[in-house]
Structure 1
Amino acid sequence: MAVPWSSPVRFVECDQQGVVFNAHYLVWADEASTLWWASLGLPWDELSARVEPVVKASTLEWSSSARWGDTVTVDAAAERLGRTSVTVRFTVRVGERVCCVVRNTYVGTAGGTSTPWPDDVRERLQAALSAG
């Protein structure tokens, strides 16, 4: 299980009404992804030296707003594993209240072309999916 990523909402992340601007949810998912990959025993620098994961697609679904002064927590979990891809769900919360769910699909690449996950990486991703 990955350690959740957490941060206070900074003033710069908000609009004039004190509501978090939508692009910051993607930044927070990216921050949480580093912890998630590392929790699988795949630190980003080591993983990217072997296969270069890139974000192929992102979706965001909001339920409520995070605001200036809140502290957000982001949990990550694998949702789907393909031959060259993995979809990870990032749930952004303030306390127990879900604000947004971000889904990023990462594709393993080599030389700019999609490539199957190395066997040991696939095993770790499969274990994360099963634990999920």
Structure 2
Amino acid sequence: MFNMWYLGHVDEAVDAFFVDRGLPYRDWPGLGFDAHVVHVELDFSAGVRSGDRVEVAVSTSRLGRKSFTLDFAFRRGEEVVCSGGLVYATVSTAGHGAVELPDKLVEALGELRPLRVSRS
């Protein structure tokens, strides 16, 4: 798979992550906030080839006052072929800049469970 597609699949997995937790992205503007990606890391350990079946796992790995980090891992069976993280900053939809994480978002993010595979 060409490298740019990994983040497209991560974006779809993040959408599903929040839907599964009862806070779909479409509800965020009505709650007065949005989240912007401010940093991305990807670590490749093997390529995904045509015909491979992979799963993209997403988990919360860090909560800050005005930002949070979601880890992700592409798994082909038991093998992690790519892992990384996305740092999001929460912003006001009223144009007031960065805002503290809303309680509903913190609740949806849940427990911290880092997924990244350490490089050896």
TM-score, structure 1 normalization: 0.77
Q: Is the 8 A contact 1:40 1:128 kept in 2?
A: no
Q: Which residue of 2 aligns with 1:56?
A: 38
Query: What RMSD, in angstroms, separates the aligned Cα atoms of the two structures?
Result: 1.9
The 10-residue stretch of structure 1 (58-67 or 36-45) with the greater mean CA deviation from structure 2: 36-45
- Structure 2: which 5+ residue stretches go unaligned? 116-120
Percent identity between the two aligned chains: 33
Shift of 1:120: 2.7
Q: Is the 8 A contact 1:26 1:102 kept in 2?
A: no
Q: Which residue of 1 aligns with 2:25?
A: 44
Shift of 1:129: 2.0
Q: Which residue of 1 aligns with 2:53?
A: 71
Instruction: Judging by fraction of residues, say which structure has more helix.
Output: 1
Q: Is the 8 A contact 2:57 2:72 kept in 1?
A: yes
How many residue pairs match? The answer is: 112
TM-score, structure 2 normalization: 0.84
Q: Which residue of 2 aligns with 1:28?
A: 9
Q: Which amino acid aligns with 1:128?
A: E
